Each structure stands twice: as structure tokens, then as C-alpha cells.
Amino acid sequence: MTALTAPRMPAAPAFVAPRNACDAHTHVFGAPDDFPAGPSSYPIPRATAPVHRAALAAMGVDRGVLVQPAPYGTDTRALEHALAAGGGRLAGIAAADATVTDSTLDRLHALGVRGLRFNLRTDPRTGAPFQGAIGAADLEALVPRLRERGWHAQVWASIGDGVRAVDSLAGRGVTVVFDHMAQLVPARGMDDPGFRRLLGQVRAGAAWVKLSLCRVSTPEYADVRPFHDALVEANPERLLWGSDWPYVAMAERAPDAGRLLDVFAEWTADQDLQRRILVANPSQLFDFTEDR
């Protein structure tokens, strides 16, 4: 049996999230006897569907988006199980390669999946693609079927590779959503060509960005504030907030998701902007239509 690690649970934030707020980037792992994972680049957290629901409740967030973890590859059974138990409050981002059947995609859609995740990065510890990751070739092959279902491509890539992916999909009817603030590099400054290009794509509505801080910054996060503000100014209608709970491969560096929500609220003090990013945008992108 795979040994599971206990995830850091959120403390209650000071910020009271608006009704139907959404954490747009989380992961769930099934009990290993029921949903065995494949080879993993990191210890598997004990982040089952009930634990995930408890994490959202601790943050005071009503909705969540579950992103397929790499150790499961294209085996979406744990994701499907969690979505089926989500009571309409969860949406999903699955992983699939070019061999996936239309019937599988249709089943996932009925459960609340609204996109596929593609990983264009390499593991810095090995220099190889992350185990279980689906890359650029499969993205290219799946574009027609993403478009048919109104799904988006969620992309984890360096900022340079990410903006090139947006350009390659221009005019093809598939929205690109970037993980982890598009992996911008604060040390390169606001004039980094990749970031300037990203701002242009967000401003034009060609790309969405998840405002998830913990993979691009130190725990103080101050170095990311100017980039956050620039993205909000460029186009708040193309932004989402995500905690990245349960912080795989971060061990003792795992942040407190409640504190991350407070940082978002401090940096985005306008209540209309808060509702736009936390409620309206995910409702649009993930088809959250019922008022729960």
C-alpha cells in the first residue's frame, strides 16, 4: 500500500468569502486501496474527497475545481468519484491523451469536467517530464474535441512556453487557462518579455490566469504583488483564484490556504472585483449554474 502523508489543513481566513466563491485549483487523491496511483514524483497526500470538502469548508469557500494529479496519469476514477460526491459544488480538470474515446470525454463532461490539463514543464529534480504528465503533442491532437465540448486547455508551462501555446491556439476555438500565475519569474521584473506578452493576451481575452502564488514566490509573496496588480488591471474577467491545496511536493514549505485567501483579499480589496474573480469568472468557465 502507498504510504500517505497528511496535508496541511487551512486555518480559517479573516476574509469572509462571498457566497459561491470558488477555489479554482485543488487536487484530490483517492484511498489507495480503491484508487491506486502510479509512479509519483512526490509523496501522495491523504487528500481524499472528504478531506478536500473539509479544506474548502475551513476556508469558507463553497465551490472547488479538482485538477487531475499527475500520479494517476489518465486514470480519472478518483477524480470522478470525488466529482460524483460533490453535490454540484465541484468541477474538474481531467487528463487524457489522444487515444481517449469520445464516450469517456462525454462521461467526464456529465460529471462536471470542463477541461484537460497539459504539462509542458520538466521536473527540476530530474530534468525529465513529470511522471504521468500529458504534453504538447496530445494537446495539439485533442484541440478539435476540446472545442466540440466547449472545454479549455489548462496549461502548466514556463511563461515563455505558455504564451507560445496561446499563440499556437489562436483562432482555433480553445481557451487556454494558465496554472500558477503562468509561472512568471518575479526576479525578471515587470518588463520581462514573457510577462508583457502574457499581459497582452489577458487584456485581449485570449488567456486566463490562476492567481496561485505558492509556486512562484516566497512565503511573504510581496515580490508577486506588482504582477498580481498588473493582471487585475489588464483584465479581471480573465482571472481565477486557486489555493493549490494540498501542496504536493512542498512538504514543510506548504502554505496555509486560509492565509493565501487573505492575501488575495488584501490585494484585491474592491468587493466587486472579489466577486468577479471568486464567483462570476469560475461560474462562467466551469458552468456553475445552480445557486447552492
Residues 6+ apart with CB under 8 A from 164: none
Host H or E run for residue 4: strand 4-5
Q: Tell me if the pTM is above 0.85.
A: yes
Query: How far apart, in whole angstroms, are the C-alpha atoms of residue 69 and residue 28?
Result: 7
**Domains of the chain: which residue ranges?**
19-285
Q: What Cα–Cα distance (Å) separates residue 18 from each residue in 68, 228, 279?
A: 26, 20, 8
Residue-averaged pLDDT of the chain: 94
The pLDDT assigned to 289 comes to 80
Average the pLDDT over 165-181 and give the result. 96
DSSP 276: I
**pLDDT (tens digit, 9 = 90+) per residue, 233-255?**
999 999 999 999 999 999 889 99
Neighbours of 165 (CB within 10 A): 20
| 67 in Cβ contact with 248 (< 8 Å) | no
CATH superfamily of 19-285: Metal-dependent hydrolases (3.20.20.140)
